[in-house]
């Protein structure tokens, strides 16, 4: 890859540092999309031993690029995002991917296609971790930043995405237990 091409990709990705998510960090500021993606990739790396038959390098790659469309649209919380919003984000991302050098364009297209289909073990792992990371971050934020619908959403968000894995089901249960304690302690 030519240095100029690399710098163009990195400049687009830098927007993820600036675009914030609905959730707050434990220090009380809005989390950036880049921070979410980084920790999601870290989760995948740390959980590699739990999924010895999965290509966790591929999962990590999915985690790193999964929200790249938000460099062009900003973040829309899952509870507000419409099918039209998702379609617009996907279209803008794919238009950008078409400008990448051939080898990167092929890899990104293959990864994004696999991620959207959610048929492979790797895509299912990435998607479950994406949902779990969001719930974990909410648990780390001050409960005063939660909006009313999040009290129930914390307990249900990602449930269907972890069903395929005993380990991820147990992780979701541990996160739910944490959520319940957090809610109880806030009363």
Classify residue 152 as left (phi > 0), alpha (psi -120 to 50) or beta.
alpha
**pLDDT digit string, tens, across residues 133-146:** 999 999 999 999 99
Cα angle value 130/100/97 (rounded, 5°): 45
**pLDDT of residue 128 exceeding 90:** yes
> Exposure string (b/e) for 136-149, b if CB count within 10 Å is 16 or more?
bbbbebeeeebeee
3-state secondary structure of 134: helix
Are the beta carbons of 109 and 96 closer than 8 angstroms?
no
Q: What is the Cα 117 distance to its own chain's centre?
A: 16
Enclosing H/E stretch for 24: strand 20-24
pTM, two decimal places: 0.95
Task: Give residue 17's pLDDT.
Answer: 97
- Domain regions of the chain by residue span: 16-185
3-state secondary structure of 21: strand
Report the distance separating Cα 50 and Cα 59, nearest Å: 13
CATH code of the domain made up of 16-185: 1.10.3210.10
**pLDDT digit string, tens, across residues 45-59:** 999 999 999 999 999
**Average pLDDT score over the chain:** 96
Are the beta carbons of 122 and 134 closer than 8 angstroms?
no
Report the distance separating Cα 132 and Cα 159, nearest Å: 9
Task: Give residue 120's pLDDT.
Answer: 98
Task: Give residue 119's pLDDT.
Answer: 98
Radius of gyration in angstroms for the set of CA atoms belonging to the chain, rounded to a whole number: 17
């Amino acid at each position: 890859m030519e240095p100029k091409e690399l710098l163009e990709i990195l400049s687009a990705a830098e927007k993820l540092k600036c675009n914030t998510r609905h959730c707050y960090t434990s220090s009380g500021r809005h989390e950036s999309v880049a921070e979410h993606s980084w920790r999601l990739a870290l989760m995948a790396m740390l959980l590699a031993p739990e999924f010895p038959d999965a290509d966790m390098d591929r999962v990590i790659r999915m985690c790193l690029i999964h929200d790249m469309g938000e460099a062009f649209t900003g973040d829309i919380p899952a509870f507000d995002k419409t099918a039209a919003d998702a379609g617009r984000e996907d279209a803008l991302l794919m238009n950008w991917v078409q400008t990448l050098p051939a080898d990167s364009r092929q890899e990104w297209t293959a990864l994004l296609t696999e991620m959207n289909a959610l048929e492979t073990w790797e895509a299912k792992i990435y998607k479950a971790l994406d949902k779990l990371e969001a719930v974990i971050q909410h648990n780390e934020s001050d409960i005063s930043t939660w909006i009313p619908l999040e009290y129930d959403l914390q307990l249900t968000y990602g449930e269907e995405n972890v069903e395929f894995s005993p380990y991820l089901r147990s992780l979701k249960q541990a996160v739910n237990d944490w959520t319940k304690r957090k809610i109880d302690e806030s009363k």
